[in-house]
Amino acid sequence: MKGMVLVSEIGAYLRCPRLVYFRSLHRDDYQKIIDVRYLSHLILKELALTYHHAAASDDATETLHAELDRITGDLPAIYRVELSGMDCSMIPDAASEIDIDAIGSRIADVTQTTGREELLTKITPCTVEHTMYSDALGISGAPDKLVRPGDRGQALPYIIRTGAKPDQGVWKPDRLQITAYAMLVEETFGTVVDCGFVEYARFFDLREVVIRSGDRRRVLELRNRIRKIKDGRMPDRPREGDAPCEFCAFSDDCDTHRSLASKFF
Ligand code: SF4
């Protein structure tokens, strides 16, 4: 939809504004780098969507091993577009990078300390990847799931992250994306959302994020900047070391633009 900004583009902008520019230029032909690291991310994300089954079972680790076997087989069917033409032999290697025993024992610990019923209300999805659109906000997106924790009875956004976790709280891009999803939930269901959840799946660490006015304002500012980029304004290249250039599919394009710019200035 023209003018609509995706919540995932807010995350991309915060990693590097030029990623938004190149992705909008190469929407149909950009080829993501598919390696063991990326596959491991996809597998862990799928696995995290089954953690409530593990928490509900008597043996969380055994349940996770069974889910991982299923996901390893199902992955090419679930991510048919993303993985088309790729060599599936890397999938078992990617699955073996995930420390199932550590995650299973963490789920068992949290189930015991939090109480099974309470934990299940926090992590059991009421819907998965429900896409929401708001013409009023000019934002759209689908959080990994919506949950209805405790006795609140209200849908709250929940996102799953497969990378490292900060010592406290959540990373800034995660905080702003959960805020954007909270705003979409409010528009969709006519509610007021005062918090959302970020789960760091590798550690089964669930962190609650309070939705603040300052972050809502920042989401709208980022939306405006992203719109300008998608309208064709290429942002400056971030300083060396400030962007994830090592794993970027656009590094050749980006270097070309840098050389052109340096010829003129
Ligand atoms: S190569 Fe680096 S600066 Fe260029 S788009 Fe990729 S991440 Fe951004």
CA of 69 to the centre of ligand 1 (A): 35
CA of 76 to the centre of ligand 1 (A): 28
Nearest CA owner, ligand 1 atom 3: 237
The closest alpha carbon to 217, from 176, 185, 181, 172, belongs to: 176
Domain assignments of the chain as residue spans, ordered by start: 5-226
CATH class of 5-226: alpha beta
Q: Which of 26, 237, 239, 258 has the most ligand 1 atoms within 8 A of CB, as the residue to mutate?
A: 237
For the chain, 265 residues long, give each residue's pLDDT as a single digit of tens. 667 999 999 999 999 999 999 999 876 666 667 788 889 999 999 999 999 999 999 999 999 999 999 999 999 999 888 888 777 788 999 999 999 999 999 999 999 999 999 999 999 999 988 899 999 999 999 999 999 998 777 999 999 999 999 999 999 999 999 999 999 999 999 999 999 999 999 999 999 999 999 999 999 999 999 999 999 999 999 988 889 998 888 888 888 766 555 555 4
55 Cβ contact partners less than 8 Å away, ≥ 6 residues apart: 107, 110, 111, 116, 119, 120, 123
